[in-house]
């Protein structure tokens, strides 16, 4: 029993060190599995495929694998395959000889030659052209390559880590990715979960990001209220950790380090929603101007959301009435523009006409019940933002 306790204690210590040194924070089982896999594979030279949505931390994983390997004192070269034009990617990866093409005025080393003895991270490998993929396969299988414009075979001793946010199985089916390269890379696969699937890690991540950022920028940050952290746990986070980091850092700057409560987090989350309201927020303007813009934006959003909610309520509670037209055909009368118009359904004592707030409360309560309290799904069904839904839940004191 003592031995087991010691083993668990040693594991927890290693896990804490891993989080501190790698920048990969969390307490979820998913993060522990990633830690376990990195511990096992880092000392070897096996190639690794890291998959995950944009912003989940694929580069952090690659850095930690390299740091824990016997290649740690050699270079880690990060290649963004999606950012290099197809016409020059082979020259960038493998180098070229003088005169190999117009503008090749001298010999140039490629990334694989520069990284000899170290590690190459092929980020977004799913965007690499097929012509370059076959040469990557040659390096994986024989550690050989040739410079553009040369017939001489050169050797390189590198470890390859590939990363992608694409479904490579589907890319293979579509003919955009070589099947043999896919099979060669996927021997060891580390899958990074989206942030929304490990919401229990969000409070820890937010606090770590806030602490580090405020320390780096000499800001006296007063932390988060529990209510703000709960809202962050419920948010969808389409941009994953990168989005969380941007949000926390923006709030710390624009709120001058004061404690983040429920009202503040809802305001900033709302500013993140929609393509027209994404960050970066221009922070080089006076603070009072930025604050006025946020208030103005929030008022416009509130007006639009009330209109949307009213339309949904009218449509659902008062469906179209089918009447006979003067010509004898069918016609439709849709819900009127004003809520106080008298309908065919006559009010009685048993069935009185309810006020708009009563109907709104009922609709929200029924929708939340239908989705077992899942606020994201309920908001999508109601076609309103989660910020509006949280406000209505609080306003009507709903038990969700």
pLDDT digit string, tens, across residues 221-268: 999 999 999 999 989 899 999 999 999 999 999 999 999 999 999 988
Instruction: Dump pLDDT digits (tens) for 124-160.
Output: 999 999 999 999 999 999 999 999 988 899 999 999 9
Question: How many separate helices (H) and strands (E) can be counted in the chain?
Answer: 16, 9
- 213, 255 in Cβ contact below 8 A? no
Q: What is the CA 204 to chain-centroid distance, rounded?
A: 17
d(CA 332, CA 258): 55
Residue 347: predicted pLDDT = 46
Tokens 């690659």 -> residue: 62
Q: What domains appear along the chain, each with residue ranges and CATH number?
A: 2-191 (3.40.50.300), 195-284 (1.10.8.60), 312-396 (1.10.10.60)
Model confidence at 358, pLDDT cuts 50, 70, 90, reads confident
Output 361 or 356, whichever has higher pLDDT.
Answer: 361
Residue 196 pLDDT class (50, 70, 90 cuts): very high
User: What helix, strand, coil percent values describe the chain, rounded to 5?
Assistant: 55, 10, 35
Compute the residue count for the chain.
Answer: 400
Quote the CA–CA distance of 282 and 290 in Å, as a whole number.
Answer: 8
Helices of type H across the chain? 2-22, 29-41, 58-68, 89-94, 111-114, 130-142, 168-173, 179-185, 202-216, 226-234, 240-254, 262-272, 287-317, 356-370, 375-382, 386-396
Residues 6+ apart with CB under 8 A from 106: 98
For residue 75, give the 3-state DSSP assignment: coil
CA-derived radius of gyration, the chain: 28
Residue 312: predicted pLDDT: 62
Question: Which pLDDT score is estimated for 112?
Answer: 96
pLDDT single digits (tens) 202-217: 999 999 999 999 999 9
Task: Supply 320's token pair.
Answer: 């179209």
Give the mean pLDDT of the chain.
82
Query: What is the Cα–Cα distance from 85 to 355, expressed in whole angstroms?
Result: 61
- Token pair in block for residue 242: 């990168």
Q: In degrees to the nearest 10, what's the CA dihedral of 189, 195, 196, 202?
A: 140
Q: How confident is the model at residue 305 (pLDDT cuts 50, 70, 90)?
A: low
Confidence class of residue 278 from pLDDT cuts 50, 70 and 90? very low
User: Mean pLDDT lowest for which of 34-38, 98-102, 187-191?
Assistant: 98-102
- Taking the C-alpha atoms of residue 79 and residue 81, their distance in angstroms, rounded to an integer, is 6
pLDDT at 276: 34
Q: Is residue 228 packed enough to be buried (19+ CB in 10 Å), middle (13-18) or exposed (0-12)?
A: buried
- Which residues are within 8 A (CB) of 280 and not within 5 positions of it... i.e. 6 or more apart? 246
Q: How far apart are CA 398 and CA 368, in angstroms?
A: 10
């Amino acid at each position: 029993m003592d031995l087991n306790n010691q083993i668990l204690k040693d594991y927890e210590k290693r896990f804490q060190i891993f989080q501190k040194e790698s920048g990969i924070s969390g307490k979820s089982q998913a993060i522990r599995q990633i830690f376990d896999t990195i511990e096992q594979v880092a000392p070897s030279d096996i190639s690794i495929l890291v998959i995950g949505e944009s912003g989940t931390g694929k580069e952090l994983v690659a850095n930690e694998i390299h740091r824990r390997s016997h290649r740690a004192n050699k270079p880690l070269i990060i290649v963004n395959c999606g950012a290099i034009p197809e016409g020059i990617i082979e020259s960038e990866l493998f180098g070229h000889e003088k005169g190999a093409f117009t503008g090749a005025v001298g010999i140039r080393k490629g990334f694989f030659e520069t990284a000899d003895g170290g590690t190459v991270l092929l980020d977004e490998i799913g965007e690499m052209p097929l012509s370059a993929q076959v040469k990557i396969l040659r390096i994986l299988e024989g550690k050989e390559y040739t410079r553009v414009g040369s017939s001489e075979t050169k050797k390189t001793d590198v470890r390859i880590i590939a990363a992608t946010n694409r479904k490579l199985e589907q890319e293979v089916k579509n003919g955009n990715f070589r099947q043999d390269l896919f099979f060669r890379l996927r021997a060891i696969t580390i899958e990074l979960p989206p942030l929304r699937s490990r919401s229990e890690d969000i409070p820890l991540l937010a606090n770590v990001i806030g602490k580090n950022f405020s320390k780096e920028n000499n800001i006296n940050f007063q932390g988060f209220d529990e209510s703000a952290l709960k809202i962050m746990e419920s948010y969808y986070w389409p941009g994953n950790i990168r989005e969380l980091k941007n949000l926390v850092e923006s709030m710390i700057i624009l709120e001058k380090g004061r404690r983040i409560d429920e009202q503040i987090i809802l305001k900033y989350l709302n500013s993140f929603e929609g393509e027209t309201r994404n960050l970066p927020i221009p922070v080089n303007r006076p603070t009072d101007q930025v604050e006025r813009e946020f208030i103005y934006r929030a008022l416009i959003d509130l007006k639009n959301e009330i209109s949307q909610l009213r339309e949904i309520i009218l449509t659902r509670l008062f469906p179209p009435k089918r009447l006979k037209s003067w010509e004898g055909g069918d016609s439709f009368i849709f819900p009127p523009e004003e809520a106080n118009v008298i309908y065919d359904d006559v009010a009685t004592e048993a069935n009185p006409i309810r006020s708009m707030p009563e109907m709104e409360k009922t609709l929200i309560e029924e929708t939340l019940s239908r989705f077992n309290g899942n606020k994201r799904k309920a908001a999508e069904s109601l076609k309103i933002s989660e910020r509006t839904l949280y406000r209505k839940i609080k306003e009507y004191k709903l038990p969700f």
